Amino acid sequence: MPPTPSELRAAGRDWLGNLAKRYPLQRRLYLVPGICNEDAQMWDTIWHWGMLSIPNWADYVERIRFETLTARDDFRDFGDHVRGLIAARYPYDPTHQVGEFDVVCYSMGGLDAFAAMVDLRATPVAPAHGMAKAFHFITLDTPFGGVPNWALRRSFPDMTGRPDRQTQCDALAPDSPQLRTLRGARGVLAGVAERIVCYSAGGDSAVQVPLESSNLCYDAPAASLWGAAPTYDSHLIPGASHAGESAIFDNEYLIASVFGQLLFGR
């Protein structure tokens, strides 16, 4: 029988503990939060394990926060902010086309990072030069195809009285113009990232982000979008939910897998 979600989480904890601060990060890592996570505290569990497991974690990892961002109608505005922060340290250099940093993103944070790398306002869509090329672009239950409950989500207590969050929800509708443009621009990632990994939550009792939405290449083979590079992988995390008590960002099996990608490329 396959391992249960609890057994997988226990195996993840064991694997993380066995790292024992022997393997440092080779690139700076940016953690990009989702909608309603402007303070980035949802990264506390991954931060805890990073401090215990990776020797240079505190020096090499930055939580991107959006608390001071005022222009935030949708994920493209957040993308502008992410691009500016990363470009301050890693500016674009057309003669240096290797990945210089990693990004791990939760939920809408993956859309923010996509918009940081790709200019979704341009016609035709093009790379959003300003910051250097990413090495890893890793997403945790990011709704590349939108969310079915976007209209209901607008009425939640953390959304009411916040016009900015209302427009952010509108952009998460599966047929929103912003997401249609994003999906049509997936091929542009070939020039702005080296490895793409998408994780999906497999334990939601009520669907929040459909599996086909969180898998960037659900409807098209990666090779048909950008050829041999970037490389692409997708993974389902059993028992994990988008948020709440079993949130994917708190799942030790997921965290171990992400650390394996960052440290060992697998």
pLDDT number for residue 72: 79
What is the percent of the chain with per-residue pLDDT over 90, rounded to a whole number? 77
**Which position has the higher pLDDT, 67 or 116?**
116
Residues 6+ apart with CB under 8 A from 118: 125, 126, 127, 128, 182, 185, 188, 189, 192
pLDDT number for residue 62: 98
Work out the pLDDT band at 73, boundaries 50, 70, 90.
confident
pLDDT number for residue 164: 72
User: What would the pLDDT profile of 166-203 be if each residue is shown by its tens digit?
Assistant: 678 888 999 999 999 999 999 999 999 999 999 999 87
User: What would the pLDDT profile of 81-93 be if each residue is shown by its tens digit?
Assistant: 999 999 999 999 9
pLDDT beyond 80 at 254 = yes
pLDDT number for residue 49: 98
Average pLDDT over the chain reads: 92
pLDDT number for residue 169: 81
* Whole-number Å distance between alpha carbons of 49 and 205: 27
pLDDT number for residue 106: 98
* Whole-number Å distance between alpha carbons of 84 and 76: 12
Work out the pLDDT band at 113, boundaries 50, 70, 90.
very high
Angle between helices 108-117 and 177-184 (to 10 degrees): 60
pLDDT number for residue 104: 98
Token digits of residue 60: 């090499």
Q: Where are the alpha helices (DSSP H) in 154-226?
A: 163-170, 177-184, 211-214, 222-226
What is the arithmetic mean of pLDDT over 133-146? 97
Q: Where are the alpha helices (DSSP H) in 103-187?
A: 108-117, 150-153, 163-170, 177-184
pLDDT beyond 90 at 19 = yes
